[in-house]
Chains A and B, each alone.
Chain A
Amino acid sequence: MTATEQQFRDNPLGKDVTLDDVFDAFEFLDDWEERYAYIIDLGKQLPPFPDDERVEENYVHGCQSQVWLIHHQDDSDGKLYLMIDSDAMIVRGLAAIILVALNGKTPRDLLTTDIDELFERLDLFRHISPTRGNGLRAMISKIRDIAAEQAA
């Protein structure tokens, strides 16, 4: 079934879960196991991705894992809503953090959000660095391309 407008809007990431929540959580987690358990947990909050959207045009190419991305723009306020899926749990969790930062923003706000800086603050930058073939870097580029297109 194709994703409905409601499904895009009901995504808790960026709405019920905010960046402040993520930062607060990271402050209390002091070893890598707790941090990754939290990241994996965030990934479980991604809304189910519609099966019929798992098609080539929504596929983000990465060497290690598969990533899918779809978007919806609200007609009234122009805000962009995203849905992401991956077969790898860590990638799902990191994608969830990206959604917390970007979901439901106007294309202009989205384009001025510095994802690299966010990931550096969380000490997770290496996961989105161009040297990792996990598809996250390509996904961020694709989101920015979508925003740039809608902002134009």
Chain B
Amino acid sequence: MTDLSMANAAAHAPLDIEAIRRDFPILAQQVNGKPLVYLDNGASAQKPQAVLDAMDRYYREQHSNVHRGAHTLGDRATSAFEGAREAVRGFLNAASTREIVWTRGTTEAINLVANGLTGRLSKGDEILISHMEHHANIVPWQMLAERTGASLKVIPVTQSGELDLDSFQSLLSEQTKVLSITHVSNVLGTVNPVAELIAQAKAKGAITVVDGAQAVPHYQPDVQALGCDFYAFSAHKMFGPTGIGVLYGREAVLDTLPPYQYGGEMIERVTFEKTTWNTLPYKFEAGTPAIAEAVGLGAAIGYLNSLDRKALEAAENRLLALANGLVDSVPGMAVIGTAANKVPVMSFKIDGLHPSDIGTLLDQQGIAIRTGHHCAMPLMDFYGVPGTARASFAFYNTEEEVEQLFAALRKIQRLFV
């Protein structure tokens, strides 16, 4: 069967979650004497065998430095590495691989853009972000504002955890030079109407940046349809390796940014008097890149393409609906983030219990969740909580696991009375 016909076969087969779970070796283990229930996918997702194999094979059979070209291994490494870039281009539906820059992750991607805009902003200019951003999409802009005299404007969120679109309209102006917004909130799970925001910001001449870190584990974004100038994400949240991420930059805008770091690979010609830069995307890739990790990300995309993502999305939505229906079974439990359009992420609090206590006692029962401020302190302040407990589901989670989570929460609550 060709790859394509396999993908089609998969698309028509009913979803077999147990078979999918077997693709993720780490899930078949016990933690504290209980079967692992991994519900911390928003922090980092687990890796399928296809990713592990691709990285192993790369080091066993293909590894050398890339783009140095004088020998066979160098060719193999370069071809695997650039093949991964093409896989990312396809995943995002970018126009060209020149628009795909490897970074260490979403954080570095946003920093690259914010740094590159230093010479372009000045006093009176505005950078527009939202109240639900991760620190990685706040602090780089705060620092850019400090460097340039521009000011940072913040789109408020509503109690349910949606962007206040009326406020967005009034905050957006000719002064807005940058709109940087998260596609999906890491705390609330809210899916923002980014295409609409981008279109309006572009009409005012703003550069548009999307933090896609929490979107890519659930959706395949189409950057041309979104119309954004930049889209950033990390491989490790979409079942790929840690240490690598992607900055998509629309070529016409990306090429106007100065280099971010200087060194090997990113240059065209160096003399002691003057250095000229390599072409896109290499201009932004100083030093030897994370080659095996890029290959691993390529394999993760291949793996996702082999699955019926629409069916997975439906399965994830069922998990979230089941969880929502069980909230009332835990007295004093309240969900933070109740937007109509959500990925399967559930932040919650329980009266009288600190998130850290919830996390510790769930761990005793083999259940992994995230607790704390989720690198979104302004959002914690908005909701008046020190932190939340967050269960974040992936397509390999089962309905039984959701039920186990709630049974465990009820058990914990009994310890405190």
> Which one of B35-43, B52-60, B134-142, B357-365 contacts A?
B357-365
Are the CB atoms of A90 and B32 closer together than 8 Å? Answer: no
Interface string of B365-396 (1 = CB under 8 A from A): 10000011100000000000011000000000
CB neighbours of A65 from chain B (8 A): 354, 356, 386
Are the CB atoms of A87 and B415 closer together than 8 Å? Answer: no
Are the CB atoms of A89 and B32 closer together than 8 Å? Answer: no
Q: Does B411 contact A (CB under 8 A)?
A: yes
A90 vs B357: C-alpha distance when bound (angstroms): 6
Q: Pick the contact of B361 from A87, A90, A133, A134 — CB < 8 Å?
A: A90
Q: Does B416 contact A (CB under 8 A)?
A: yes
Q: Does B355 contact A (CB under 8 A)?
A: yes
Q: Does A127 contact B (CB under 8 A)?
A: yes
- Within the complex, the shortest CB–CB distance from A60 to chain B, in Å, comes to 14
Q: Does A66 contact B (CB under 8 A)?
A: yes
Which residue of the partner chain B has the closest CB to A41?
B415
- Within the complex, the shortest CB–CB distance from A5 to chain B, in Å, comes to 31
Q: A64-B371, A66-B386, A90-B361 are in contact. Are A40 and B356 (CB under 8 A)?
A: no
* Size category, A interface: 10 to 19
A30 vs B365: C-alpha distance when bound (angstroms): 15
Are the CB atoms of B356 and A88 closer together than 8 Å? Answer: yes
The number of residue pairs between A and B whose CB atoms lie closer than 8 Å in the complex comes to 44
- Within the complex, the shortest CB–CB distance from B356 to chain A, in Å, comes to 4
A56 vs B309: C-alpha distance when bound (angstroms): 49
Are the CB atoms of B372 and A89 closer together than 8 Å? Answer: no
- Within the complex, the shortest CB–CB distance from B325 to chain A, in Å, comes to 26
Q: Does A33 contact B (CB under 8 A)?
A: yes
CB neighbours of B355 from chain A (8 A): 64, 88
Are the CB atoms of A134 and B415 closer together than 8 Å? Answer: no
A65 vs B372: C-alpha distance when bound (angstroms): 8
A33 vs B410: C-alpha distance when bound (angstroms): 12
- Within the complex, the shortest CB–CB distance from A143 to chain B, in Å, comes to 20
Q: Does A91 contact B (CB under 8 A)?
A: yes
- Within the complex, the shortest CB–CB distance from A117 to chain B, in Å, comes to 22
Are the CB atoms of B361 and A88 closer together than 8 Å? Answer: no
Are the CB atoms of A36 and B364 closer together than 8 Å? Answer: yes
- Within the complex, the shortest CB–CB distance from A22 to chain B, in Å, comes to 18
A40 vs B32: C-alpha distance when bound (angstroms): 19
Which residue of the partner chain A has the closest CB to B353?
A89
Q: Does A55 contact B (CB under 8 A)?
A: no
CB neighbours of A37 from chain B (8 A): 415
A-B contacts, 17 of them at CB < 8 A, read A33-B411, A33-B415, A36-B364, A63-B372, A64-B371, A64-B387, A65-B354, A87-B354, A88-B354, A88-B355, A89-B353, A89-B354, A89-B357, A89-B416, A90-B360, A127-B360, A133-B372
Q: Which residues of A contact B (CB under 8 A)?
A: 32-33, 36-37, 40, 63-66, 87-91, 127, 133-134
Q: Which residues of B contact A (CB under 8 A)?
A: 32, 353-357, 359-361, 364-365, 371-373, 386-387, 411, 415-416
The 7 A-B pairs at the shortest CB distance, nearest first, are namely A88-B354, A88-B356, A64-B356, A65-B356, A32-B364, A90-B357, A90-B360
